[in-house]
Chains A and B, each alone.
Chain A
Amino acid sequence: MGAFLSVNRLCKDYEGRRALRDVSFVLEKGDFLSLFGPNGAGKSTLLSIVSTLVSPGAGQVEVKGFDLMEEPEQFKKQLGVISHNSLLYNHMTALENLIFYASLYKVKDPGKTALELLRVVELYPRRHSRVGQFSRGMRQRLSIARALVNDPSLLLLDEPFSGLDQYAAAILTEQLAELRDKERTVIMVTHNLERGLNTATKVGILAAGRLVFMESRQDVDRTLFEAAYFKYARGAGPV
């Protein structure tokens, strides 16, 4: 069983600054990587490159042995992303949003999938309301549903817990645990040590564009890891 996702010597310059320097790591199918790091460490850049939104300056990303830049269509079908932005249309209803995205991914029965997901994120009663009228927490729940619409085998999460209300956070935690059990591969970028360590099978620290730490979760002692994280966070200056 080979690597599911391999990131190879990835570099990216952004506005004359090095956002990523020589980042390499490998994930097996079913791995859940929690990636920590101070602000500006390059975490979001890394996710954007893996999600094909940003082209790498140098290096490759391979998924199941296929180069990401050369065969993106196959890869995109299995990809789910939760980013800072909801990626939802305000003028459309919750149901319309999910059906639209499900159809883009050529999901078998978009209507059924959409309704099921609305039940999962507990927005079923509001399915015919426009997203523009939703509260922030409801939008975030819907964007979780949006990311799962194609039943992705690789899920990228950029600070999914930031600004989430308790209710939405509980739903997300539940979904993450389920994804891990279903052997989905996940990369989650976060500040939150508590949540990051809880679900992860692997943990990494990105500081100043370098991957300075990468271990299996069970080999990592919580207190020692926290100490290491704060050392790197401080090394990069006040956060």
Chain B
Amino acid sequence: MRGFLLILRKDLHAEFRRPESLVSMVFFGFLLLVILNLAIPLGSEISPETGAGILWVAITFSSILGLSRTMSREKENRCIDGLLLSPVSIEALFCAKMAMNFVLMLIAQCSIIPLFFVLYGDSFLQSLPLLVLVVLLANTGFAAIGTLFSAITAGTDRNEALLPLLFYPLVIPLISITVKVSSLIFQGAAPGEYSSWLYVMLAYGCIFTGLGVLLLSHIVRE
């Protein structure tokens, strides 16, 4: 627990001192929100499905910029070896990196989601509290897989360019569930209609967090 907090604090400290990841995530997220506007016919109200799709494409595509950096940061001067040599457990290392990704995504969402409401109409605004729940569940899954695979790509010759190619195929199911649930929430559907999907999202997060904890030691050790 102590090691977890120390590593997380170190990473947050570094990010706040020079917020490279956050700035690029938010900037790219804004860009995507503007570009995706092209998909909507002129003068028409956007449907909840389209809105949810646009929102989550912007979030997931911008998040990759942050995810790819959490592990590659440890590659400089082989700092990862410094962590592995210390008495900190590999579980604490995985959880710290995953928490870092979770927080990065959350902070970026804090500016992407409001801009989404501004650009695409505040008719969706009443669904905000439930959307927060979806965001938290989705972030868990994205952060878990993102952490595991950013550890892998940090060990390859192609580095960060490889992450999206490995990451997106695996998170397609999570993206499609998240979009579906968000669109139901935007429609104002009764929670009973999508509560089972929330459990699937929760299970997804738990399963891949567990797998990440189990598999990380194989990836980072020589």
- Asked if A and B form a direct contact in the complex, defined as CB atoms under 8 angstroms apart, the reply is yes
Chain B residues engaging chain A, CB cutoff 8 angstroms: 2-3, 6, 10, 14, 17-18, 76-79, 81-89, 221-222
A-B CB proximity, top 3 nearest: A87-B82, A85-B78, A104-B86
Chain A residues whose C-beta falls within 8 Å of the C-beta of B81 in the assembled complex: 53, 81, 83, 85, 87
Complex: how many Å from CA A51 to CA B81?
A: 10
A152 to B: closest C-beta gap in Å: 10
Complex CA–CA separation, A54 to B70 (angstroms): 23
On whether the beta carbons of A101 and B86 are closer than 8 Å, the reply is yes
Give A92-117 as 1s and 0s: 1 = Cβ < 8 Å from B's Cβ atoms.
10000000110111100000000000
Nearest residue in B to A139 (C-beta to C-beta)?
B77
Contact B87 A105 (CB under 8 A): yes
Q: Is A27 an interface residue (CB 8 A)?
A: no
Q: Is there an interface contact between A100 and B78, defined as CB atoms closer than 8 Å? A: no
What is the CB-to-nearest-CB distance from B84 to chain A, in angstroms, rounded to a whole number? 6
Residues of B within 8 A of A55 (CB): 221
The range of chain A's interface size is 20 to 34
How far apart are A63's CB and chain B's nearest CB, in angstroms? 14
Q: Which of A54, A85, A100, A101 contacts B77 (CB 8 A)?
A: A85
The reply to whether the CB of A76 lies closer than 8 angstroms to some CB of chain B is yes
List residues of chain A with CB within 8 A of the CB of B84: 52-53
* B87 close to A77 (CB less than 8 A): yes
Query: Are A79 and B79 also in contact (CB < 8 A) when A100-B6, A106-B2 are?
Result: no
Chain A interfacial positions (CB closer than 8 Å to B) = 48, 51-55, 73, 76-77, 79, 81, 83, 85-92, 100-101, 103-106, 146
Are B86 and A89 touching (Cβ within 8 A)?
no
Give 14 pairs: A residue, B residue, CB < 8 Å, sorted on A: A48-B222, A53-B81, A54-B221, A76-B85, A77-B87, A79-B85, A86-B77, A89-B76, A91-B14, A92-B14, A100-B6, A103-B2, A104-B86, A105-B86
**Please, how many angstroms separate the alpha-carbon atoms of A155 and B89 in the complex?**
21
Q: Which residue of A lies closest to B14 (CB)?
A: A91
Please indicate the chain B residues that have their CB under 8 angstroms from the CB of A77 in the complex. 87
Query: Would you call B87 and A76 a contact (CB within 8 A)?
Result: yes
Query: What distance in Å separates the Cβ of A121 from its nearest Cβ neighbour in chain B?
Result: 17
Cβ of A146: which chain B residues have Cβ within 8 Å of it?
82
Are A88 and B79 touching (Cβ within 8 A)?
yes
Residues of A within 8 A of B86 (CB): 76, 101, 104-105
What does DSSP make chain A's interface, helix, strand, loop or mixed? loop
Residues of B within 8 A of A103 (CB): 2, 6
Report yes or no: B85 in contact with A53, Cβ–Cβ below 8 A: yes
Given A48-B222, A92-B14: A73 and B87 interface contact (C-beta under 8 Å): yes
Q: Which residue of B lies closest to A146 (CB)?
A: B82
Output the residue of B2, B81, B82 with the most chain A CB within 10 A: B82
Q: How far is the CB of A99 from chain B (nearest CB, A)?
A: 10
List A contacts of B79 (CB < 8 A): 87-89
Whether A91 contacts B18 by the Cβ 8 Å rule is: yes
User: CA A103 – CA B76 in complex, angstroms?
Assistant: 20
The reply to whether B85 and A106 form a contact with Cβ atoms under 8 Å apart is no
- Report chain B residues within 8 Å CB of A76: 85-87
In the complex, which residue of chain A has the Cβ closest to the Cβ of B82? A87
Task: Kindly report which residue of chain A lies nearest to residue B6, judged by CB atoms.
Answer: A103
What chain A residues lie within 8 Å of B17 (beta carbons)?
A: 91
B14 to chain A, nearest CB (A): 5
Cα-based distance from A86 to B2 in the complex (angstroms): 24
Which chain B positions have C-beta within 8 A of A79?
85
Known: A53-B221, A105-B87; 11 extra A-B contacts, CB below 8 A, are A52-B85, A53-B81, A55-B221, A76-B87, A81-B85, A89-B76, A89-B77, A90-B77, A101-B86, A103-B2, A103-B6
Q: How far is the CB of A72 from chain B (nearest CB, A)?
A: 8
Among A53, A89, A104, which residue has its beta carbon within 8 angstroms of that of B222?
A53
Among B14, B18, B89, B221, which residue has its beta carbon within 8 angstroms of that of A89?
Answer: B14
A81 partner residues in chain B, CB cutoff 8 A: 81, 85
**Which of B79, B89, B222 is the most central at the interface, judged by chain A CB atoms within 10 Å of its CB?**
B79
Most buried by A among B6, B78, B86: B86
Of all chain B residues, the one with the shortest Cβ separation from A88 is B77
- Kindly list chain A residues whose C-beta atoms are within 8 Å of the C-beta of B221: 53-55
B6 contacts A104, CB within 8 Å?
yes
Check if B77 sits within 8 Å of A51, measured CB to CB.
no
